Structure 1
Amino acid sequence: MTALNRVWIVDDDRSIRWVLSRALKGAGIACDEFESGREVVKAIESDQPRVIITDIRMPGMDGFELLRHLNDAVPEVPVIITTAHAGLESAVSAFQSGAFEYLPKPFDIDDAIELVERALSQGESAQPDPNVDMQGQTEIIGSAPLMQEVFRAIGRLSKSSINVLITGESGTGKELIASALHRHSPRADKPFIALNMAAITRDLLESELFGHEKGAFTGAQTARQGRFEQANNGTLFLDEIGDMPAELQTRLLRVLAEGEFYRVGGHAPIQVDVRVIAATHKDLEEEVAEGEFREDLFHRLNVVRIRVPALRERSEDIPALLEHFLSRAAGELDAERKSLNPEALEILGEFGWPGNVRQLENIARWLTVMTPSHRVHAEDLPPEVLNDSGVRPEIDWQQALRGWANQRLMSGSSALMDEALPAFEKVMISAALERTGGRRQDAAALLGWGRNTITRKIRDLHMDDA
């Protein structure tokens, strides 16, 4: 017998099942627990839930194998995939295998409940494509919550050829994200062509994009294909699109709208089928407002937007990124592989990283060449890190809090938690919002909360009134 809002929880970790079960029941959602995929396969023969939440890594039948079985047996049941081993490949695999959503552990309970409620309201889940070929490319490194959002976006877009706008500071790895979008798309076996708008002179950019006919200009000895022709049926990545000259913005808009263009000096239209992924470190809305970027072109490019976080917003990824870059530098430079002691690693974690991941990669090369011993100590770090004003001594906030508590108690105050806890949460929320420029979802990720949690806290603490 099938309950109206019944959810099955599948995880070999009893504590995860207990937490999820308690939270869902608290939200008025009935649920049953299973510790293996085999149990679900047997149960589905005579029963059917409204939603299934399953872990990926389980003994015997893993979550992906279970998902494939469920797609055949009960394709209308939404399946939410969870995993503690979050990464780009697992996120893309989950969506391409037909998962309703992908939820990396540890997850916020409010987010989990919201996902289940959304899955309950959905009539049918998307059918999987059994012919998807996952390519064995190197995974983008990132376990931080903001990077998991990027991975989920790539996964959701893996069956689409829609245009994407990637934003983020210089050096954050926007081309890697563009390459991953292409690699995990229906066009994966077609060309991926990249062109940096800021790296080519204004006079040559039109020819680079659209090609030219023989004799079109001085020095055009032969006809030449442009990047749009080279990328036909594939993906064209236009990096630093905010630097594109105004006259070329008009030509690009026509290609996006009509799928055709003329070579420089040409008279016959050329038809192309190209997915365009654009990237910029600029604020294009501001560029539009100032008349520097066409509004209609912005809307053509901004169908889906992915924001790549700055390295300072994902500092928990620095150790893994360093391991990768130090290993690669040792191989490239035929040198001893270096390792960092905890103090040096802590300083790098507190550094502001104005150059983001690209700067971290360069520092890994610098350390490989310049550090005299196998072990990198704090004094071995480059001057740009050691002299940075962002490296500050840690504030002993616990001692300060203890002093405040003692002072209040000596003055006869009571119920200190009623006073301290809201003040503490206000400080943490304000600091996170300041760091993210007011973006609540990003601030919630920095605090380890879900979007619903920070919204509720701001409301309960009357911070919107401030």
Structure 2
Amino acid sequence: MTEELPSLLLVDDDPIITESFAFVLRDKFKVHAVSTREEAKHLLYSMPVLPNVALVDLGLPPTPHTPDEGFALVSELLTFNPTMKILMLSGQDSEDNVRHALTLGAVDFIPKPCDMELLKARLSHQLMIHEAERHKQPQSKQKECGLVGQSAAMDTLRAQIKQFADSPFSVLIEGESGTGKELVAQCLHIQSKRVSEPCLTLNCAAFTTELLEAQLFGHAKGAFTGAGTARAGFFEEASQGSLILDEIGEMPLPLQSKLLRVLENGEYYRLGETRVRQSSARIIASTNRDLREEVRKGNFRADLYHRLSVLTIKVPSVCDRDDDKFLLLEHFQKFYGEMGTLFQLDETAHKTWGAYSFPGNVRELRNIVIRIGAKYPNQKITRIQLEPELENEYMDKQELEMDSDEAISKKLSKGGFSLDDVLLQWERRYIDAALNKSQGNLSQAARILGINRTTLYSKMQRLNKNNM
């Protein structure tokens, strides 16, 4: 029975929490508990099947009083498995931290201490979403490859995919995290004559140097510790198809020269062998780094960069796609429609959605749709309900607008204005910022805000806060 349970990665440095959670969740999940970011990565290196759900504390060693390690781990887990559902479980639940974690790709944020039944429900909900995505995945392999959008930037992208699909040369796909670079790579394969051949994806950031080399080229029996049998690598298994090298900018320098050899003459060696093998796979590489800058820094070989970038595709960010953000909203609402995501935006929320830049790109937009759908199923939501889901970049822009008499006058003239809502929103933001700055120390936060501790506590109660 245990083997059939879905795997859950639990990252928390408090042994009482890891032990109690492992006990409480044992009937629903096979829990793999670690206490640090590095331990989490080493565990994932060794797991033959990656977990689809993770529960991560923000404050991890060596800096448990700051969210930096937790933020970094969110990005790294999505590198290992882009479909992983990451839920944050932390006492560092200021609005800034919540928003930033969700922008990076986390799907939910649960403050400590939490109700265990609520936690079970949230985890089960994310598993259900993961299963729905997995079963609907074949629908993306259509003529348009699942690319959503009618902007000029997307028209250019589709034209480039069609133009480069059957070229024998390698393609370099550039773009910010969350823009859909892997989907574009798959589109290049689907629209090519290689469509009946394998299309394999290897994330260069998800392995140590030795393991990455073994994954790419294969290895002989006994080539390294743990290599009990010989194994073919991705180049061999891709055969005449396509090999997608995701996050190519993370490839270690020693391996870059070996990859260059394959690109130049198709030759490679299995790890621990001396027999030359040939590859006919087409290389499609992707990166969120500026490889030209990496070349200047000495982190990436110039000759490999020029070889990979014969054909280059730039995947646009959401902020460069005009009104596609509304088409993406509609697309994900329909995709997750069975889960109650068919909410509506009122006029104020519609304007806020249009003004927001989505720094986490399509991944962030999708997660916002899922969260709002879970909180307000089949309802009409307002700007006040939407804004807590957005990153501070948008809120900072709103703060600048507050200094403009013209902007204030414009808002007042639109009607439906509520001074109480605005003041409540600002009060909540300043309290969150003070608590974050004081690392949750109520007395210090009160001094920062220029009020006494009792007043702050009563305001927090009124705002349904529980940060003590």
TM-score scaled by structure 1? 0.53
Measure the CA separation in 2 of the matches of 1:178 and 1:356: 17
- 1:340 pairs, out of 340, 345, 349, with 345
Partner in structure 2 of residue 285 of structure 1:
292
CA RMSD for the aligned pairs? Answer: 2.3
2:201 is matched by which residue type in structure 1? Answer: A
Deviation track 1:160-194 (CA, whole Å, cap 9, x = no partner) reads 23211111111111111111111111211111111
Match of 2:376 in 1: 371
SS in 2 for 1:279: strand
Report the AA paired with residue 245 of structure 1.
Answer: P
The answer to whether the 8 A contact 2:171-2:308 is kept is: yes
Cα deviation for residue 328 of structure 1 reads: 1.8
| One-letter amino acid matched to 2:240 | N
Percent identity between the two aligned chains: 44
Counterparts in 2 of 1:168-247, with a 5 A limit? Answer: 168-247=175-254
Give the conservation status (yes or no) of the 8 Å contact 1:351–1:390. Answer: no
User: 1:319 maps to which residue?
Assistant: 326
Is the 2:204–2:212 contact (alpha carbons within 8 Å) kept by the matching residues of 1?
A: yes
Q: Structure 1 366/350 Cα, relative in aligned 2: closer, same or farther at 3 Å?
A: same
Q: Which amino acid aligns with 2:368?
A: I
AA in 2 matched with 1:196: N
> Out of 261, 267, 276, which is 2:268 matched to?
261
Deviation of 1:315 after TM superposition, in Å, equals 3.4
Change (3 A) 1:311 1:136: closer
Residues 1:294 and 2:310 aligned together: no
Q: Distance in 2 between matches of 1:156 and 1:372?
A: 42
**306, 324, 337: which is aligned to 1:330?**
337
**3-state SS, counterpart of residue 261 of structure 1:** strand
For residues 214-265 of structure 1, give each alpha carbon's deviation from its aligned partner in whole angstroms, at most 9, with x where no partner exists.
1111211111111111111011111111110000101100111110211111
Q: Deviations over 1:141-162 (max 9, x none)?
A: 1211111111111121233232
Task: Give the 3-state SS of the residue equivalent to 1:195 in structure 2.
Answer: strand
Distance in 2, matches of 1:169 and 1:371, equals 30
**Letter paired with 1:147:** M
**Hey, what's the Cα distance between the residues in 1 that align with 2:191 and 2:342?**
32
Q: Tell me how far apart the structure 2 counterparts of residues 364 and 255 of structure 1 sit (CA, whole Å).
A: 42
- Which SS does the other structure have where 2:186 is aligned? helix
Distance, in Å, in 1 between the alignment partners of 2:248 and 2:273 is 25
Matches within 5 A, 1:349-360: 349-360=354-365
Shift of 1:390: 5.1
Give the direction of change, closer, same or farther, for the CA distance of 1:390–1:186 in structure 2 (3 Å limit).
farther
Q: Describe the shift of the 1:150–1:372 C-alpha distance in structure 2 as closer, same or farther (beyond 3 A).
A: closer
Q: Tell which structure's C-alpha radius of gyration is larger.
A: 1
Q: Would the aligned equivalents of 2:341 and 2:370 in 1 still touch at CA under 8 Å?
A: no
Runs of 4 or more, structure 1, over 6 Å off, are 394-397
Equivalenced residues, count: 264
Under a length normalisation based on structure 2, what TM-score does the superposition of the two structures give?
A: 0.53
For residues 331 and 288 of structure 2, what CA distance do their matches in structure 1 show?
25
Give the Cα separation in 1 of the matches to 2:378 and 2:340.
11
Q: Per-residue deviation at 1:385? A: 1.5
Contact kept in structure 1, 2:343 and 2:377, CA below 8 Å: no
Q: Deviations over 1:78-113 (max 9, x none)?
A: xxxxxxxxxxxxxxxxxxxxxxxxxxxxxxxxxxxx
Going from structure 1 to structure 2, the CA distance change for 1:135 and 1:377 (only over 3 Å counts) comes to closer
> Structure 2 counterpart of 1:375, which letter?
K
**Does structure 1 conserve the Cα–Cα contact (< 8 Å) formed by 2:217 and 2:271?**
yes
> Which 5+ residue runs of structure 2 have no aligned equivalent?
1-140, 411-468
1:123-157 per-residue CA deviation (whole Å, 9 max, x = no partner) reads: xxxxxxxxxxx954643112111111111111212
- Measure the CA separation in 2 of the matches of 1:349 and 1:363: 14
Please list every run of 5 or more consecutive structure 1 residues that lacks an aligned counterpart in the other structure.
1-133, 401-466
**TM-fit CA distance, 1:372:** 5.3
